[in-house]
A = this chain, B = another copy of it.
Amino acid sequence: MTQRERAIKGEITDEVKYVAEKEGIDPEVLRTKIATGKVVIPHNINHALKKFCGIGEGLRTKVNANIGTSPDGDDYEMELKKARVAISAGADCLMDLSIGGNIDKVRMGILKMVDVPLGTVPIYQAALEGINSSGSIMDMTSTSILKVIERQAQDGVDFMTIHAGVTREVISSLKKVGRVLDIVSRGGAFLVEWMVYHNKENPLYENFSQILDIAKAFDVTLSLGDGLRPGAISDGTDAAQIQELIVLSELTQDAWSEGVQVMIEGPGHLPLHQIEANVRLQKGICKGAPFYVLGPLVTDVTPGYDHISAAIGGAIAAWAGADFLCYVTPGEHLRLPTLEDVKEGVIATRISAHSADIAKGIKNAIDWDYRMSRERKKLNWEGQKNLSIDPTRVSEWKGKSKSDPKACTMCGKYCAIEIVNKYLKQEVENR
> Could you tell me which A residues sit within 8 Å of B by CB distance?
70-73, 99-100, 127, 171, 175, 180-186, 188-190, 192-193, 196-197, 231-235, 271-273, 298-305, 307-309, 311-312, 315-316, 319, 331-336, 347-348, 351-352, 354-356, 358-360, 366, 368-370, 372-374, 376-377, 384, 387-390, 393-394, 397-399, 401-403, 408-417, 419-424, 426-427
Task: Report chain B residues within 8 Å CB of A377.
Answer: 180-182
Tell me if A's interface is mostly helix, strand, loop or mixed.
Answer: helix
With A127-B414, A175-B424, A315-B272 as contacts: A369 and B299 at CB distance below 8 Å: yes
CB distance from A21 to the nearest CB of B (A): 23
Task: Report chain B residues within 8 Å CB of A188.
Answer: 416, 420
A-B contact pairs, 18 of them (CB 8 A): A70-B409, A71-B402, A71-B403, A71-B411, A72-B409, A72-B412, A185-B416, A192-B420, A197-B423, A234-B373, A299-B368, A303-B388, A303-B393, A305-B347, A308-B348, A333-B410, A334-B410, A335-B409
A231 to B366, CA, bound (A): 14
A332 to B393, CA, bound (A): 12
Task: Report chain B residues within 8 Å CB of A412.
Answer: 70-72, 99-100
Q: Is the CB of B273 within 8 A of A393?
A: no
Q: Is the CB of B335 within 8 A of A305?
A: no
Q: Is the CB of B397 within 8 A of A304?
A: yes
Task: Report chain B residues within 8 Å CB of A273.
Answer: 319, 359-360
A285 to B162, CA, bound (A): 52
Q: Is the CB of A388 within 8 A of B301?
A: yes
Q: Is the CB of A423 within 8 A of B192?
A: yes
Q: Is the CB of B309 within 8 A of A355?
A: yes
CB distance from A198 to the nearest CB of B (A): 11
A373 to B185, CA, bound (A): 15
Which of A366, A369, A397, A420 neighbours the largest number of chain B CB atoms within 10 Å of its CB?
Answer: A420
Top 7 nearest A-B pairs (CB, nearest first) are A335-B399, A232-B373, A304-B393, A71-B412, A189-B416, A272-B359, A298-B355
Q: Is the CB of A397 within 8 A of B189?
A: no
With A127-B414, A308-B311, A336-B399 as contacts: A373 and B300 at CB distance below 8 Å: yes
Closest to A174 in B: B424
Q: Is the CB of B298 within 8 A of A398?
A: no
A30 to B178, CA, bound (A): 37
Q: Is the CB of A374 within 8 A of B189?
A: no
A336 to B303, CA, bound (A): 27
Choose one: B190, B231, B316, B414; the contact of A376 (CB below 8 Å).
Answer: B231
